């Protein structure tokens, strides 16, 4: 079957729950086509039954490179194209930097960074050939502002933002847009079922992260953000001719990012003379350094 209509084909990872599920439902409701990927595709069977001509359910563990390549091939074979890649699959780890195990750190990066990177690299040749498309990478307010107790999680999102910022500039000449989504606290299962809490808890860190650890767990089911409204905002950004590179979602995300920007600017200004007075005498510095 080929996609004879001009409706977009979306490939959404982690589409069985949370943001991925809400976005998939919203896209289907507006008449577009979705490749629904999940580690357990049975969880999206209701959507494939409701929209049989415009859905494809596929098993995908983003940490499995073979499955990543296969799902892209099947999507292209079925619908002839991919227009919007949504790297949504991911989860959080809670614990101080010293507390989280080596295994948990690597698993967190494998899913949140390398999984998204593998899928992006697998889809890019098709988007370049089309000279169009969108790549939506789910970051977090924690991809711009790091918090004690979630440094490992935040570091994966910082990495994803660095990749996305460079990628946006690399693919702009081909008509491909990159959008980094930075949600605050939304009512998904992020703080519940999807959250990995470190088994090791060091007493010294309790005054620093204990309150944050408790807040993350207590807010589960009480988050202010509505995932349906987030899905609508994402679709609105994709439909815009000039979408934002970063799309913060939620007043909490906007406020935290705004405060970080002001803090960075104040510190940069306070240390400006020390910073710039490091060149060889007579050398004028401009452009990229580092």
Helix (H) or strand (E) holding 90: none
Q: Examine the residue annotation and report whether 139 is marked as an active-site residue of this protein.
A: yes
- Signed CA dihedral, 134, 137, 140, 146: sign only: negative
Report the DSSP beta bridge partners of residue 247. 181
Give the Cα separation of 217 and 181 in Å (integer).
Answer: 23
SS3 for 66? helix
Instruction: Identify the residue whose tokens are 């990159």.
Output: 178
For residue 231, how many C-alpha atoms fall within 13 Å in the half-sphere facing its CB?
21
Nearest of 92, 232, 233 to residue 156 by alpha carbon: 92
Q: Please tell me which residue in 15, 16, 91, 139 is annotated as part of the active site.
A: 139
Q: Please tell me which residue in 16, 150, 157, 198 is annotated as part of the active site.
A: 157
Structural tokens at position 56: 């494809």
Angle in degrees, 0-180, between the axes of helices 102-109 and 151-171, rounded to the nearest 10? 30
Q: Examine the residue annotation and report whether 153 is marked as an active-site residue of this protein.
A: yes
Structural tokens at position 271: 């240390």
Q: Please tell me which residue in 140, 153, 198, 237 is annotated as part of the active site.
A: 153
Q: Which residues are known to be catalytic? A: 139, 153, 157
């Amino acid at each position: 079957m080929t996609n004879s209509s001009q409706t977009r084909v979306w490939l959404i990872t982690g589409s069985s729950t949370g943001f991925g599920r809400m976005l998939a439902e919203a896209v289907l409701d507006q008449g577009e086509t979705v490749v629904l990927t999940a580690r357990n595709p049975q969880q999206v069977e209701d959507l494939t039954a409701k929209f049989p001509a415009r859905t494809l359910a596929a098993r995908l563990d983003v940490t499995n490179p073979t499955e990543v390549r296969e799902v892209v091939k099947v999507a292209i074979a079925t619908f002839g194209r991919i227009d919007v890649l949504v790297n949504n699959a991911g989860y959080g780890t809670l614990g101080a930097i010293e507390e989280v195990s080596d295994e948990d750190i690597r698993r967190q990066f494998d899913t949140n960074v390398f999984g998204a990177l593998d899928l992006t690299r697998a889809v890019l040749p098709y988007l370049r050939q089309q000279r169009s498309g969108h790549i939506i990478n789910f970051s977090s307010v924690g991809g711009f502002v790091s918090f004690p107790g979630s440094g490992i999680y935040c570091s994966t999102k910082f990495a994803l933002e660095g990749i996305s910022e460079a990628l946006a500039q690399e693919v702009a000449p081909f008509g491909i847009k990159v959008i980094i989504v930075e949600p605050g606290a939304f009512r998904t299962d992020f703080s519940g079922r999807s959250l990995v809490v470190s088994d090791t808890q060091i007493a010294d860190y309790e005054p620093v992260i204990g309150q944050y650890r408790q807040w993350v767990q207590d807010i589960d089911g009480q988050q202010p953000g509505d995932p349906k409204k987030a899905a609508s905002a994402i679709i609105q950004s994709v439909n815009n001719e000039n979408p934002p590179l970063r799309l913060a979602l939620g007043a909490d995300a906007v406020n935290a990012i705004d405060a970080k920007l002001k803090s960075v600017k104040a510190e940069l200004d306070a240390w400006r003379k020390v910073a710039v007075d490091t060149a060889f005498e007579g050398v004028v510095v401009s452009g990229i350094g580092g």
